[in-house]
Amino acid sequence: MKIRVSFAVTILTLLSQSSFATVYNPPIKLHDSVVAEYPNEIAVTRAEKNETLLDVARRFSLGQMEIIRLNQDLDRWLIKKDQIITLPNKRVLPDSPHIGITLNIAEYRMYYYSTDGKIYSFAHGVGRQDWNTPLGKTTIQKKVKDPVWRPPESIRREHAANGDPLPEVVPAGIHNPLGAYALYLNLPGDYRIHGTDIDKIFGIGMQITHGCVRMYPEDIDQLYHLVSEGTPVYIVKQPIKVGWLDNVLYIESHPDLEGEETTVEQRLASALALIQKANNYELPEFNQMALKEALEKQTGNPTEIYERTVSPEEAEVNEAILAVPKASIVEPAVKTIASSTNTKVAPKRQTASKVTEKSKVVVTKKTIVPTKAKVVTVVKPIGKLASKPVSSGYHKP
């Protein structure tokens, strides 16, 4: 029996504020389906002031339920200064074609597979229990900047009953629920992937819409400029995902959506079927305790449950594959920027051997790179964008 054992030394990556969508390089091995920003590391951040988990989620473009599940021991409404918050690092890709967009409503997250091979991941909100987001394959029918919203009669009746009447037409602007950009899906019912207004900014990553897919303003801005009309869109519901990364098998488990309830036995049966499928339809001798914990806690964090033995021949082939240069892989780059009173340097991720109180660092086995007062060492790690479209995400007159 081969069981994956966790590292004895915890490796942490302490991250500063980021407004970038997460961008992953594709797995190097053909049949791997787990992506990671920082292999063998745990991503965390430290609160610089008293705040909420929702504030942290907003800074890192994460969904509300996503960050709550990852930090089940923390009070979502009271994060104290200097408290450490866990952030996502690895993700199991949904079981869908790796082209266009995949929306996995079970994890409130979408994946865009770009033509250059990179994988963009965005948080999003989905339809409420009584306004389900439809499943299946569709395409982006049209793209609209500064969309005007014409609420259907059913939604107007609902708002009127709640004492919040809606006009027949909501013009573009900061209070338009569609935000600044909308991608219309080729589905009956006028479903869209769209932004949000300033009144519902903390609803991302929740089951809160009337069936549409709602994104952060800067995320829909970026996605809008990445995709074209006709892009395929796969809408799936996969609360349990299983995948390989470097001969290690991972399982990722998410809670049921509102209005749904699966038993422990049902989740276990689904997990075992996925494990068997991923392992050439043979059930390996995996870590049963790790699987049980993943299915019970449902943190959404990929959990290692098995490591397969690789023959010397397979190891030699794998080494040859890893030695082949990948033009699409983002290489790490380090540069030094002199700071001045007129220049603002965006916070970046750094590496160090221990966490200090006055600097944002990374706990790894690497050399200390502290943040200095006059000179800032900026590290662009693998998987982060060098730049992105800049926009407030809202309509500008």
pLDDT on residue 266: 94
Question: Is 164 a residue whose pLDDT tops 90?
Answer: no
Asked which of 1-15, 69-83, 346-360 is least confident by mean pLDDT, the reply is 346-360
Q: Where are the alpha helices (DSSP H) in 91-152?
A: none
Q: Which residue has 């009337």 as its token pair? A: 210
CA-to-CA separations, 225 to 146, 199, 314, in angstroms, rounded: 14, 24, 41
pLDDT band at 309 (very low <50, low <70, confident <90, very high): confident
User: In angstroms, rounded to a whole number, what is the distance separating the alpha carbons of residues 295 and 311?
Assistant: 31
Among 32-36, 190-194, 316-320, the least confident range: 316-320
Backbone angles phi, psi at 245, to 5 degrees: -150, 115
Residues 148 and 173 sit within 8 Å (Cβ to Cβ): no
Per cent of the chain over pLDDT 70 is 62
Q: What is the pLDDT of residues 287-299, one digit of tens each?
A: 999 999 999 999 9
Can you tell me the mean pLDDT for 126-151?
76
**What mean pLDDT comes out for the span 210-228?**
86
Instruction: Please tell me the predicted confidence (pLDDT) of residue 176.
Output: 75
Other beta carbons within 10 angstroms of residue 357's beta carbon come to: 6
Residues 208 and 200 sit within 8 Å (Cβ to Cβ): yes
What would the pLDDT profile of 29-77 be if each residue is shown by its tens digit? 989 999 998 877 788 999 989 999 999 988 898 988 899 999 999 999 9
CB 205 within 8 A of CB 125: yes
